[in-house]
Amino acid sequence: MNLFSKADLAAVSAASPTTSVRYRVLWLTVLLYAITYMDRVCIYAAMPVIAKEFSFDKMTQGLIFSAFAWGYSSLQVPSGWLVDRIGPRRMLSGIVLWWSAFTMFTVSAWNAASFIVIRFLFGAGEAGAFPSATRAFSRWLATSERGFAQGVTHSGSRLAGALTHAVVAAMIVVWSWRVPFLLFGVIGILWAAVWFFWYRDRPEDHRGVSASELKWINDGKTIVGRNRKSVLSWKKLLGHPNMWCVCIMYFCYGYVLWIFLSWLPTYFAEVRGFGLVKSGIYTMIPLLAGTVTNSLGGWLSDRLYVRTGDLCYSRRLVAITGFGIAVVFVTLGVLAPDATLAVLAMSVAVGGLELTTGVSWAVPLDIGHDHSGTVSSVMNMFGNWGGALSPILVAWLVQRFNSWTPAFILASFLCLVAGLLWFKIDPTISVIEERQD
């Protein structure tokens, strides 16, 4: 099923918007995604100093880290539902102020329990960030621009996550571990002020949007999205096979991603013989590879869609290719006899994995329409359940088999499952009820 005929696509391509406010919305959202990862990663970089000051053992540190994940995952669906009700302008302004405040409150923590509570509430605030941004894109971007938009925003988050370690370390050396939390909190507050006073939930309400840009946005929407009114039905949403395939796919993605985010430095140090500093530097290489392919995957999907008019083909081809690359190179990385080859293989593996991200986040826009915030929050909840399970199961597998190989082989298998699920995921099939206007 093609959402556009070739005549429709030619008409859209012929339009030349005289303004580009939608791209300012996009780049402001890229900055938002970067801020989310700056604030998340800050405590990982500062924890060695914090642990020394408060005498935290490894288990206590783990509990502090996991508090964020539980707050973040538990508020995904309520946040997605709420943004579909009140709109991204008020939602993002409010939650960014919320989590920025708790980023700053971290410096006032006095024991393990206070750190855990603050991190949980911080995670609860960040839960609404990605679903709210996805909801904003549903109004501001044409279908042919969604894959790139989701890819470049996630590239911003990965780049920020890769660089924050070095930035925070430098700040700690010059000042103290408390300074980054205060500075990052202020950055978030400034972002929230700009978003609230400049952004509008509907492009037609923004005085900077020209008639030609508005026509580009509206003509570039799916036919279903233009001609029908979407109505949220939890029964249909949670019972739809398309939704379950998306959720399980993203669970597999989240599980594998968090291996690279949390365990790769330890793996490089213990198995490949890198020192602490060197393992940290080499860990940045795979994450930077993912930064590039996040944008590339979304861009490729959008270009394929414009050329073919086949949304299903353009989304599936990129995602299946990305997961296929990850299947091969995760296995090659863990089995590589040479440390340099292992780093290169892991970099290609992360690049393949992240090639799928923009496409995965475009699908909630495709199948959720005006309820894309809710749809994306359900998907992201499953992804973060995978991310919460990953560090625990990896640790058990390494301890049980006294080897890292089973953990990475399982990750490769989950990439295979995710790739196969994309043969069933159909971005042209809505998971919500539709009524004729």
Taking only the tens place, the pLDDT of each residue in 62-92 is 677 778 878 888 887 788 778 878 888 899 9
How far is the C-alpha of 428 from the C-alpha of 434, rounded, in Å?
13
**pLDDT of 4 strictly over 50:** no
CA distances from 26 to 33, 43, 210, 327, 400 (A): 11, 27, 17, 31, 46
Task: Indicate the residue type of 13.
Answer: S
Question: Which of 411, 412, 394, 286 is CA-nearest to residue 346?
Answer: 286
In a domain, 433, yes or no: no
Check residue 6 and give its pLDDT: 46
Q: Are residues 73 and 202 in the same domain?
A: yes
Q: Are residues 285 and 402 in the same domain?
A: yes
Higher pLDDT: 403 or 230? It is 403
Higher pLDDT: 413 or 163? It is 413
Instruction: Name the residue range of residue 50's domain.
Output: 19-221
- Chain-centroid distance of CA 301 in Å reads 17
Q: How many domains does the chain divide into?
A: 2
Q: Are residues 171 and 245 in the same domain?
A: no
Per-residue pLDDT band for 9 (boundaries 50, 70, 90) equals very low
Domain boundary among 221, 240, 272: 221
Question: Which of 291, 345, 70, 60 is CA-nearest to residue 164?
Answer: 291
- Sign of the torsion angle spanned by Cα atoms 149, 254, 250, 116: negative
Q: What is the mean pLDDT of residues 90-103?
A: 92
In a domain, 8, yes or no: no
- pLDDT above 90 as % of the chain: 25
Check residue 322 and give its pLDDT: 95
Q: Any residues with CB less than 8 A from the CB of 107 and at least 6 apart, and which?
A: 178, 181, 182
In a domain, 11, yes or no: no
What are the tens digits of pLDDT across the range 361-406? 888 878 877 777 778 888 988 998 887 787 778 877 887 888 889 9
How far is the C-alpha of 42 from the C-alpha of 365, rounded, in Å?
31
In a domain, 314, yes or no: yes
Q: What is the mean pLDDT of residues 127-136?
A: 81
Q: Are residues 351 and 399 in the same domain?
A: yes
In a domain, 228, yes or no: yes
Written as one string, the DSSP assignment of 290-328 is HHHHHHHHHHHHHHHHHHH--HHHHHHHHHHHHHHHHHH
Burial class (CB in 10 A: 0-12, 13-18, 19+), 58: exposed
In a domain, 7, yes or no: no
- Sign of the torsion angle spanned by Cα atoms 185, 191, 195, 198: positive
Per-residue pLDDT band for 3 (boundaries 50, 70, 90) equals very low
Q: Any residues with CB less than 8 A from the CB of 408 and at least 6 apart, and which?
A: 259, 330, 331, 333, 334
- The DSSP secondary-structure symbol of 431 reads S
Domain boundary among 206, 221, 236: 221
Of 115-124, 154-163, 242-251, 292-301, the range with the lowest mean pLDDT is 154-163
Check residue 230 and give its pLDDT: 61
Check residue 197 and give its pLDDT: 92
Q: What is the mean pLDDT of residues 305-332?
A: 91
Check residue 221 and give its pLDDT: 57
Check residue 420 and give its pLDDT: 96
- pLDDT above 70 as % of the chain: 87
Check residue 424 and give its pLDDT: 93
The CB density around residue 14, as the number of other CB atoms within 10 Å, is 8
How far is the C-alpha of 251 from the C-alpha of 400, rounded, in Å?
23
Check residue 433 and give its pLDDT: 60
Q: Are residues 303 and 317 in the same domain?
A: yes
Check residue 137 and give its pLDDT: 76
How far is the C-alpha of 435 from the C-alpha of 437, rounded, in Å?
6
In a domain, 344, yes or no: yes
Check residue 226 and give its pLDDT: 45
What are the tens digits of pLDDT across the range 149-201? 767 777 787 788 777 767 777 788 788 888 989 999 999 999 999 999 988 87
Count CA atoms within 13 Å of residue 317 on its CB side. 13
Q: Are residues 303 and 416 in the same domain?
A: yes
Check residue 237 and give its pLDDT: 76
Higher pLDDT: 198 or 215? It is 198
CATH of the domain at 275: 1.20.1250.20
How far is the C-alpha of 266 from the C-alpha of 313, rounded, in Å?
39
**pLDDT of 228 strictly over 70:** no
Domain boundary among 221, 240, 274: 221
Q: Are residues 234 and 186 in the same domain?
A: no
Q: Are residues 54 and 142 in the same domain?
A: yes
Determine contact, residues 44/169, Cβ cutoff 8 Å. no
Q: Are residues 243 and 279 in the same domain?
A: yes
Written as one string, the DSSP assignment of 339-403 is HHHHHHHHHHHHHHHHHTHHHHHHHHHHHHGGGHHHHHHHHHHHHHHHHHHHHHHHHHHHHHHTS
How far is the C-alpha of 360 from the C-alpha of 250, rounded, in Å?
8
pLDDT, mean over the chain = 81
pTM for the full predicted model: 0.74
In a domain, 194, yes or no: yes
Per-residue pLDDT band for 55 (boundaries 50, 70, 90) equals confident
How far is the C-alpha of 250 from the C-alpha of 287, rounded, in Å?
18
Q: Are residues 188 and 276 in the same domain?
A: no
Q: Are residues 255 and 379 in the same domain?
A: yes
How far is the C-alpha of 293 from the C-alpha of 344, rounded, in Å?
15
Determine contact, residues 369/3, Cβ cutoff 8 Å. no
321 beta partners: none
Q: Are residues 289 and 391 in the same domain?
A: yes
- Chain-centroid distance of CA 47 in Å reads 23
Higher pLDDT: 65 or 416? It is 416
For residue 38, give both structure tokens: 């700056």
